[in-house]
């Protein structure tokens, strides 16, 4: 049996090499003929004739290289990985022109062979632009529009209060408390489920599944994403381990997608009235396909919503540990407007322009998604005389936008004042680009914005965030840096001192009543 497998393996390998070589030659000839007779591709770094820029791309932090290239080749640049066209855009204006105004061409998603190996892969974020994707977005918009999210305000307020109480009790666990707060809001809204502070079984499964899903789309993780023909390789064949990984990921995804939904369905069968997104969607579902769509929508919202909030709030604490002057100015504004006898609410937002600027700067300084979701062209197009072929992956480099020195002078510093005009009013830059563009913009941005702002303003109102001190009373620098993957970036784990600003502030938190909140 082993001899037969070895014989088959050798011939498969030969076939694969031949197929790949022929496809590359056809690609190069076709590209040469087209580009010679028509417009040219955008400028970009030199390419190897066969593999293009495959060896130029690092596995991690690709946005840093894209940003460096943009300084040499401009706001729109072209690279190639084997036969795959990739265009990187580093300008809000160009991205808006392509993704917003030409959405019919730029709203699809790049096919990902590793995701295709997962059964029932209907995650909204990976669906091509079409009827199923539109159905998913309609479900989301019903509950996540600017008006619809107002119904979540009391839930968010209660979870923020709980977060403040946790900071009083165990401030050294603030990174875990951030994650608990974000997950508590998302899980309550989606499934009417109260998340345990630690070791929640559903959360543990979901985090493992999301981590594996990130690996499936991370550039360079699996060769099959670059050479799709490798899908024919059997799992037992040398190099076929990606199929084992896909099978294991499928099991985790099934547990994540089915576990909480099945609990909701069971509770509904017993007659319990649940006021949450999944329950409302399930009331109108009649077919297996509709049920699958509901599971996929909820899973997508969980994965993206929780992770983005966690990343942003961790960055906020990281910034406050390093910029005391910014923290103090925000606290002075809150004290002047809100006073000391109550906690800030969302109604205070228009009256706190510096806190708003601080919120914007938190989003800009370390954007959660430094490289936006890749769009995929479904037709040929041209821009400023450049050819953009059909089937091109177009990547919005959010990091490059935030590091544009003409837009943001001294971009590495944390400076909320950059969002003010000379007359002292806020400018029009609301950093909306961090939530994506066009039809693919983040559907949960309104909910996420309120959660993050409410947390920031309440922490500033009640706590001081300072660097740790050594045995001699000297402050220990906080230079955590950030780590990234295909889903989001986070500060490396770091420590800081978090203490109530005054005893009165501590009492104000403790006297807040945590009521039993029905999910929305």
Instruction: Encode 21-72 in three state secondary structure.
Output: HHHHHHHHHHHHHHHHHCCECCCCCCCECCCECHHHCCCCCHHHHHHHHHHH
| Length, in residues, of the chain | 520
Give which of 373, 114, 84, 372 is closest to 225, Cα–Cα: 114
H helices within 38-173, ranges in order? 62-73, 92-95, 103-106, 113-116, 131-144, 153-169
Indicate whether 287 pLDDT > 90: no
Q: What is the DSSP string of 332-400?
A: HHHHHHH-SSS---GGGGGG-HHHHHHHHHHHHHS-S-SSPPPEE-SS-EEETTEEE-TT-EEEE-HHH
| pLDDT band at residue 219 under the 50/70/90 scheme | low
Predicted confidence at residue 230, as pLDDT, reads 86
Predicted confidence at residue 202, as pLDDT, reads 80
Indicate whether 207 pLDDT > 60: yes
Number of domains in the chain: 1
* 26 falls within a domain: no
Is residue 480 helix, strand or coil?
coil
Rounded Cα gap, residues 156 and 345, in angstroms:
10
- Tell how far CA 433 is from the center of its chain: 12
Indicate whether 486 pLDDT > 60: no
Rounded Cα gap, residues 204 and 207, in angstroms:
5
For residue 272, give the DSSP letter: -
Output phi, psi for 519, to 5 deg. -65, 160
* 83 falls within a domain: yes
Predicted confidence at residue 203, as pLDDT, reads 79
Over residues 386-412, the mean pLDDT reads 95
Of these ranges, 14-23, 121-130, 169-178, 292-301, the one predicted with the greatest mean pLDDT is 169-178
* 8 falls within a domain: no
Rounded Cα gap, residues 444 and 184, in angstroms:
15
Q: What is the DSSP string of 295-322?
A: HHHHHHHHHHHHHHHHHHHHHHHHHHHH
Predicted confidence at residue 507, as pLDDT, reads 94
- Tell how far CA 11 is from the center of its chain: 42
For residue 162, the tally of other CB atoms under 10 A from its CB is: 18
Over residues 198-225, the mean pLDDT reads 78
Residue 273, judged by CB atoms within 10 A of its CB (0-12, 13-18, 19+), counts as exposed
* 10 falls within a domain: no
**What pLDDT digit, counting tens, does each position of 314-352 carry?**
999 999 999 999 999 999 999 999 998 999 999 999 999
Rounded Cα gap, residues 492 and 314, in angstroms:
9
Q: What is the DSSP string of 179-213?
A: HHHHHHHHHHHHH--PPPSS--HHHHHHHHHHHHH
Rounded Cα gap, residues 156 and 456, in angstroms:
13
The region of weakest confidence among 11-25, 88-102, 340-354 is: 11-25
Indicate whether 513 pLDDT > 90: no
Predicted confidence at residue 512, as pLDDT, reads 86
Over residues 283-299, the mean pLDDT reads 87
- Is 434 in contact with 368 (CB distance < 8 Å)? yes
**What pLDDT digit, counting tens, does each position of 299-318 carry?**
888 877 777 899 999 999 99
Predicted confidence at residue 120, as pLDDT, reads 66
**442 annotated ligand binder:** yes
Residue 447, judged by CB atoms within 10 A of its CB (0-12, 13-18, 19+), counts as buried
For residue 313, the domain's CATH number is: 1.10.630.10
* 127 falls within a domain: yes
The region of weakest confidence among 4-13, 297-306, 381-390, 437-446 is: 4-13
| pLDDT band at residue 259 under the 50/70/90 scheme | confident
Measured torsion, CA atoms of residues 350, 351, 356, 357, in degrees rounded to the nearest 10? 120
Predicted confidence at residue 122, as pLDDT, reads 67
What residue has token string 């295709």?
Answer: 116
**Mean of pLDDT over the chain:** 86
- Is 54 in contact with 20 (CB distance < 8 Å)? no
Predicted confidence at residue 302, as pLDDT, reads 85
Over residues 153-173, the mean pLDDT reads 95
Predicted confidence at residue 28, as pLDDT, reads 47
- Is 330 in contact with 354 (CB distance < 8 Å)? yes
Over residues 419-439, the mean pLDDT reads 94
- Is 412 in contact with 404 (CB distance < 8 Å)? no
| 341: CB partners within 8 A, 6+ apart | 508
Which is more confident, 94 or 200? 94
- Is 360 in contact with 430 (CB distance < 8 Å)? yes
* 288 falls within a domain: yes
Predicted confidence at residue 352, as pLDDT, reads 98
Indicate whether 159 pLDDT > 90: yes
* 11 falls within a domain: no
Indicate whether 190 pLDDT > 70: yes
* 296 falls within a domain: yes
What tokens appear for 99 in the block?
Answer: 């993704």
Domain, as residue range, for 215: 39-510
């Amino acid at each position: 049996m082993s001899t037969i497998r070895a014989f088959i393996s050798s011939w498969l390998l030969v076939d694969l090499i031949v197929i790949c070589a022929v496809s590359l030659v056809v690609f190069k000839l076709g590209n040469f003929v087209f580009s010679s007779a028509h417009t040219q591709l955008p400028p970009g770094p030199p390419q190897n004739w066969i593999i293009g820029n495959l060896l130029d791309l690092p596995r991690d932090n690709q946005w840093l290289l894209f940003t460096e290239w943009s300084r040499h080749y401009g706001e729109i640049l072209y690279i190639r990985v084997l036969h795959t066209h990739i265009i990187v855009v580093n300008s809000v204006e160009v991205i808006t022109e392509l993704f917003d105004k030409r959405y019919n061409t730029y709203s699809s998603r790049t096919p990902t062979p590793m995701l295709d190996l997962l059964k029932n892969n209907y995650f909204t974020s990976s669906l091509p632009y079409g009827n199923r994707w539109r159905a998913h977005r309609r479900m989301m918009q019903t509950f996540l529009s600017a008006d619809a999210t107002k119904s979540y305000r009391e839930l968010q307020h209660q979870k923020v209060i709980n977060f403040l109480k946790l900071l009083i009790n165990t401030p050294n666990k603030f990174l875990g408390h951030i994650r608990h707060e974000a997950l508590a809001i998302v899980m309550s809204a989606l499934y009417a489920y109260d998340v345990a502070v630690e070791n929640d079984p559903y959360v543990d499964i979901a985090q493992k599944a999301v981590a594996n899903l990130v690996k499936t789309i991370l550039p360079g993780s699996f060769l099959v994403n670059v050479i799709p023909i490798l899908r024919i390789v059997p799992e037992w064949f040398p190099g076929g381990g990606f199929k084992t990984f896909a099978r294991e990921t499928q099991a985790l995804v099934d547990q994540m997608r089915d576990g909480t939904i099945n609990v909701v369905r069971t509770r509904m069968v017993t007659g319990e009235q649940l006021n949450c997104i999944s329950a409302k969607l399930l009331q109108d579902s009649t077919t297996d396909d509709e049920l699958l769509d509901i599971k996929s929508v909820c899973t997508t919202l969980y994965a993206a919503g929780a992770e983005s909030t966690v990343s942003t709030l961790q960055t906020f604490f990281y910034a406050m540990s390093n910029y005391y002057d910014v923290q103090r100015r925000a606290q002075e504004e809150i004290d002047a407007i809100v006073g000391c006898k109550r906690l800030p609410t969302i109604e205070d937002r228009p009256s706190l322009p510096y806190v708003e600027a601080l919120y914007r700067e938190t989003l800009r300084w370390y954007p959660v998604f430094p490289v936006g979701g890749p769009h995929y062209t479904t037709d040929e197009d041209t821009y400023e005389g450049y050819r953009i072929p059909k089937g091109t992956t177009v990547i919005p480099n959010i990091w490059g936008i935030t590091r544009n020195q003409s837009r943001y002078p001294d971009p590495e510093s944390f400076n909320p004042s950059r969002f003010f005009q000379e007359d002292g009013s806020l400018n029009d830059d609301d950093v909306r680009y961090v939530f994506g563009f066009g039809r693919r913009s983040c559907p949960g941005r309104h909910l996420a914005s309120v959660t993050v702002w409410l947390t920031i303003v309440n922490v500033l109102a009640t706590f001081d965030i300072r660097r740790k001190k050594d045995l001699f009373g000297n402050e220990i620098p906080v230079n955590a840096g950030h780590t990234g993957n295909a889903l989001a970036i986070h500060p490396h784990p770091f420590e800081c001192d978090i203490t109530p600003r005054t005893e009165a502030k501590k009492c104000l938190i403790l006297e807040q009543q945590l009521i039993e909140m029905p999910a929305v």
